[in-house]
Amino acid sequence: MALEKLTFNIQPLSNDLNEALKFEINHKTKPLGSLGQLERIAYQLGRIQQSVQLRLSKPTVVLVGADHGICAQGVSPCPQELTWQQMKNFAKKGGGIGLFANLYKLDMLTIDAGVDYHFSKEDKVEDYKIRNGSRDFSIEPAMTTVECRQAMENGAAIVSKLYNKGCNVIAFGEMGIGNTSPASVLMSQLCNIPLDACVGAGSGLDATGIQHKLKVLNAAISKHGTFEDPFHTLACYGGLEIATICGGILKAAELKMLYINDGFIITSALLVAHAMYPEVLDYTIFSHQSNEGGHKHMISYMKGEPILNLDLRLGEGTGAAMAYPIIQGAVEMMNKMTTFTQANVTDTTKKGITVL
């Protein structure tokens, strides 16, 4: 029996409030368009929330971890036990994402989607494990379609639970040694970009290591081929954390939450989500462009506008966390900055060029 397709009800953004939002932003006491991207962020969030009064509630970073069978082919210079060690660290609010989530007052969850390790209750890593790591996709598909669907359902369930607790803005982070390999293949397949433009150093490969990684991944694609359905592309070449995050992104859009996208691995999950439901981009803000070579091509493919460009390549959701205060600034501008009428200042909106 064929696997029933997982569906989401993602609505395109309404245009009903567009002119009211533009009027409100353009009539703040400033030259027209002078707050640039901040104005576009406020406008997008206003369209998502269908209100000229914006609200960010219980912002949360969901850190999802899993291991990857493709590591058996020597595509990463790092030992695989770093995955579980870092997951424990993150659950204690350690690492880069723990630091920035605490600094910017973001809630944080640590999720095991498929780490090759048994966590105890004391580790405070939430159990959504499908299996102990994906399979080696140079030999066989990384996941069965049943496993891939279950991972996506898990991601959707995690987001629904947060939404029901009052969260309306979400980001994802990831942890999984070797996960730039599935992300690179997903990028190549979904963006129709040659694989050599998608493969980078990951967590520290030298030039010889990058060439070996490219050879392994090319051989995997030659073995399995290309799929018309993005879901089957994800199942064959993806990872358990990537599938979980993909399901979470789609559910966030269905629930009309603001989704803050992070780096290379997370964007591979967004690429799959976008291939399934292009409307997901209406709910997406790109936090940054990372220093991982392929990331700028991913963003360009989806016509995204990153907020930051700081040469980051850490992942973990750190870029999304760093961009959050700027999104807060856009909300404060919309809600609290005086208008020409309120401040009794001469209206200059007939001069200049709007950025909306």
Active-site residue set: 316
Q: Is the dihedral of CA 197, 203, 209, 213 positive or negative?
A: negative
Distance CA 98, CA 234 (A): 28
Q: Which amino acid is at 206?
A: D
- 11's CB contacts (< 8 A; 6+ apart) are 256, 279
Contact 289, 339 (CB under 8 A): no
Distance CA 159, CA 136 (A): 29
- 76's CB contacts (< 8 A; 6+ apart) are 177, 178, 180, 181, 202, 203, 205
Distance CA 114, CA 245 (A): 12
- 138's CB contacts (< 8 A; 6+ apart) are 70, 73, 216, 217, 219, 220, 223
Structure tokens at 260: 């803050």
Edge to edge, the sheet with strand 284-286 lists 126-127, 107-114, 60-66, 169-175, 258-261, 284-286
Distance CA 79, CA 58 (A): 35
Give the number of other Cβ atoms within 10 Å of residue 227's Cβ.
14
Matching residue, tokens 């940054």? 288
CA distances in angstroms from 149 to 74, 132, 145, 161, 313, listed in the order given: 28, 16, 6, 18, 29
Query: Residue length, the chain?
Result: 356
Distance CA 88, CA 9 (A): 35
